[in-house]
Structures are given as structure tokens and as C-alpha cells.
Structure 1
Amino acid sequence: MPDTPVPSVTPRKAAQQLRSQKKVQTILDTTLTMLTEGPADQITTNAIAARAKISIGSLYQFFPNKEAIFYELFKRWLFQTLNALDEAGQALEDGLSKEECIDAILEALAGHPEINSRGHWQLRRAMGSSRELAELEAQHLQQILQRIIGLHAKISSQPPAELGQELALLQNQVTIACLQVLAMTDESANRARILGWCKKMLLLAFDFPELDRK
């Protein structure tokens, strides 16, 4: 996954020693917890350092600002999400019904709190907080779209070339909406019912009978 160097959100240095790696992980975990609790614009580097029980100087050794922390979290989330989508694609064996395929996709994405939590959705919103972050997110999310296009090819008939990108965008947006709702209702007594509705919505998004007839 190639990165476009952007000085304003590039870590100052990579953590080489185990102690430094643990410190960076503590910064990232603390920031994600704080994102779970509230919006990104209320988070400051001073607050992150205080919550992580490290000095602000130690934080600045690795990250120049909070946007760089957001971007590092986003890269790690994207890496895990792409792996989950790849695993879902490998699980979609020939002969599975569309319903079984949708179950596999939801199990791969919604069942992992490390990629589908309240904090991660706040992180996605935070990626729009600066021009640099928004541009980097747009670049990287193309990789998710390509995975969605590949899943579409396994679930339903291949759409005409002129519709492929639009259908992938539609499927991606429906998938995002379902995952976001599931993340927000993780502890809800209604989760099973909501999961059922999400499956129906995804089945509609991935099922185009008029294409199957062509």
C-alpha cells in the first residue's frame, strides 16, 4: 500500500526499539479511545499525552500533530480492512448463494471491533478535518472500491464496464451505512434485527436481476 509523503501528517520518526513501539501504540490506542468518546475536533495533542501518561515532548518525538496520529490510525485501519475484504473474497467459493456471500462479507467486516467500532467511525470523520487528510483518504479508499468490485464479480453477474465504478460506489456506500449502524448498536438488544435488515439491504445492493438476464 504505497503512501504519498505529506510532511504535515508524516510521523517524525519510526519507532525502532520495543519501548518506543509500545509508546507509539499507547498513543494510538489512547487516541482511538478518545475518538470513541467524542468528536475529533475536541481532541488535542496535550489531552492525548495526558491521557496516555506520557510527556508532550515524547508524543512530539513521533508525531508532529494530531492529524499525523489520525493518519497513522487510518492506515492501520485500512490495512486490516483490506485484509478482511481479501479473506471474505477467498471465502466466497463457487456455488454459494448470494445470501451466503452477504453473510461472509458481514462476518468479515462487522464482526471485528478492531476495524468496526465507534472510534473508527469518528476516525473516518476526522479524515475530513484537513485537506491533506481528505486527499489521502480518497487515494486509499480506491483500494477498498477495487475489493468491492471483486466481490461483486463473485456475488452477481459482471455489470457492463460503463456501470462498474458507479455500482461499486453504490455497494460501498450501502456497506458503509450498514457497518456504521452495526458499530453504533454493538451493545443493543436490537442488534440481531438490525443485522437482518442490513443483510437485506446488502442483498439488494449486490443483486441486479436485470443484469443477470442480459
Structure 2
Amino acid sequence: MDKPQKKQNLAPRNAPVQGRSRERSRQILDATSELLEKVGFDDLNTILIARAVGISVGSLYHYYPNKHAILFAMGSRWLEEVEAALDSIALWPIEEMDREELVDKMLAANLKAYKQQKAILTLVQAMFAVPELRELDERHDEMYISRMAEVFKRMGSKAHIRERERMGRMYLEITHAACLVIVHQKGQRAQRTLDDLKLMVITFLNCHIS
């Protein structure tokens, strides 16, 4: 019988509380983002990360025990950006806003979170495919769906919570896939894709919320 694989430790070695430690931790995550964009997930390793930061591998291990722990911290940081975008949306006077204006602003807030994270496509693919990171993917989806279900209620939906969560899942899948495309496009091409996304979202909402 095969032995069960030992689950990797994803917790940082020491929580960075001092300013210098927090700055070093940020440098590690930023360097990992750059490398993830250049070399991809499979070729990324702690030797490359340490070299990019300008520290030894031993020093790197004082902060994170392995590659997956660094990626977990990166994913967690991105989730904080997504949550901040959703928090800002929750503060808007949604009940009073024109639907097209609301969709424009929601997509702009969402897209900003995607643009702030380098190598976002590779990161979210890893969050879905790598067992050690899948918790992040699940947290992202649960948070997004529950928040959008509340937004739909404030927009006037009378549907049951389960139906609004189903709608939230559809909204997430549509916007998530499109945002991952838009961040890798430029100029008019990106704008046309964003315009198509707005049209799809507004059509979807008009079908479900009178």
C-alpha cells in the first residue's frame, strides 16, 4: 500500500511583525510574482527566488518553508485585494444606481484587483490545480458568490438565496474568465473585450432582475 503523502507546511516560518521583516516578506512575494511570470510554475523554485531577492536559500527558509508556502502567501495577498474590491462595492448606494453604471464600476473594481497581481493567470491556475493551494480557490469562490448574492438582492432580486448564489456563481465564472483575458490584452483589443463583458453581464442581469 502506498504511504499517504505528507501535507506540506504552508505557514510562514515567523509572522513578519517588524518593519524590516515585513519588507523582506514583501520582497519575496514580489520577486516570486516576477519569476512566476517569467519561468512559470513548474520551473519556479526557492533557489531562483532567493537569488532574485539577493539572499541565501537558508535565509529564505527563515520566512517560508517551501515554494508552495510562498505561493500560498501570494494567493492570500491577492484574495485580500479581491475582498477590498468587494468591500468597496458593498459601500455603494446600489439600490439607487443605474444598472449600466453599476456594472461599469463593479467590473472596473474587479479588474483593478486582477491587474495589481503579476502572473495572475499562472497564480489562479495553480490555486485550482495544486492541492496545497486549492483552499485559496475555494475561499475565493465562496467569498465572491456570497457577496454577489447580496448585491443582487440590493439590486432588487426577489429570488431565494440559493438562486442568487447560483447567479453569483455564473457572474463569477463569466467575469473571472474575461478578466484573465483582458489583463493580457492592450489598447483597443482590451477595451473591446471589456465592452463585450459588460454587454454579457448586463444581459444576464436583465434576464434575472427586473
User: Structure 2 length normalisation: TM-score?
Assistant: 0.87
Report SS of the residue matched to 2:91: helix
Identity between Structure 1 and Structure 2 (%): 26
Aligned residue runs from structure 1 range 25-174, under 5 A: 25-112=26-113, 115=116, 117-174=117-174
Cα distance in 2 for residues equivalent to 1:184 and 1:32: 15
Residue identity in the other structure for 2:79: L
Q: What's the C-alpha RMSD, in Å, of the aligned pairs?
A: 2.1
Q: Give the unaligned 5+ runs of structure 1.
A: 1-5
Cα distance in 1 for residues equivalent to 2:104 and 2:48: 40
Higher relative contact order, structure no. (Cα contacts within 8 Å, ≥ 6 residues apart): 1
Residues 129 and 61 of structure 1: is their aligned pair in 2 closer, same or farther, counting only changes over 3 Å? farther
Task: Answer yes or no: is the 8 Å Cα contact 1:156–1:206 preserved in 2.
Answer: no
Q: 1:29-60: CA deviations, max 9, x gaps? A: 00111222242122001111111111111110
Number of equivalences: 204
Task: Answer yes or no: is the 8 Å Cα contact 1:102–1:202 preserved in 2.
Answer: yes
Residues 37 and 103 of structure 1: is their aligned pair in 2 closer, same or farther, counting only changes over 3 Å? same
Report SS of the residue matched to 2:159: coil
Q: 1:173-207: CA deviations, max 9, x gaps? A: 0110221122111x343222222111111112333
Residue identity in the other structure for 1:198: L
Report SS of the residue matched to 1:121: helix
Shift in Å at residue 146 of structure 1?
A: 1.1
Partner of 2:4: none
Task: Answer yes or no: is the 8 Å Cα contact 2:152–2:164 preserved in 1.
Answer: no
Task: Answer yes or no: is the 8 Å Cα contact 2:120–2:180 preserved in 1.
Answer: no
